[in-house]
């Protein structure tokens, strides 16, 4: 079996998962009486603005916390949340270093090549 065949099979499994989820939702929706659906909709509406307000506040406080943790340069631990400080990552311009390595082959000793990786991205609904 080649990679293309595996990807095709994976697409089929994704489609099965989506179908099962849709069928479950359809059956659950059919099982709920209209008056219960109306009550649920009212509850959802009542809490939507409240949740949005809290999410907005969380976003603002997280931004402030990130700025302060960066200023302090250290991880800050609360009772339930920890803001982990990470030192800035150092990167190098590979094109420049590869050019220099031609003239100074000793630079090649500092080169490390990691393992390849694979991530899955959905391309759109079929």
CA distance 113 to 48: 48
Give residue-wise pLDDT tens across range 110-124. 888 999 898 888 887
Cα–Cα distance, 69 to 109 (Å, whole number): 36
What pLDDT does 76 receive?
Answer: 95
Tokens of 37: 């659906």
R_g of the chain, CA atoms, integer Å: 26
* In the chain, where the domains are located: 32-86
**Neighbouring C-alpha atoms within 13 Å toward the C-beta of 111:** 15
pLDDT tens figures, 54-99? 999 999 999 999 999 999 999 999 999 999 999 999 898 999 999 9
What's the pLDDT tens digit per position in 89-102?
989 899 999 999 99
pTM recorded for the entire structure:
0.62
What mean pLDDT comes out for the span 9-37? Answer: 96
């Amino acid at each position: 079996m080649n990679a293309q065949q595996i990807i095709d099979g994976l697409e089929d499994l994704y489609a099965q998962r989506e179908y099962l989820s849709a069928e479950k939702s359809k059956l659950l929706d059919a099982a709920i009486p209209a008056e219960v659906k109306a009550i649920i909709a009212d509850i959802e509406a009542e809490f939507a603005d409240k949740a949005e307000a809290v999410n907005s506040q969380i976003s603002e406080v997280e931004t402030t916390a990130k700025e302060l943790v960066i200023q302090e340069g250290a991880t800050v631990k609360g009772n339930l949340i920890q803001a982990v400080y990470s030192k800035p990552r150092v990167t190098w311009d590979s094109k420049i270093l590869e050019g220099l390595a031609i003239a100074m082959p000793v630079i090649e000793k500092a080169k490390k090549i990691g393992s390849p990786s694979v991530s899955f991205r959905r391309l759109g609904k079929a």
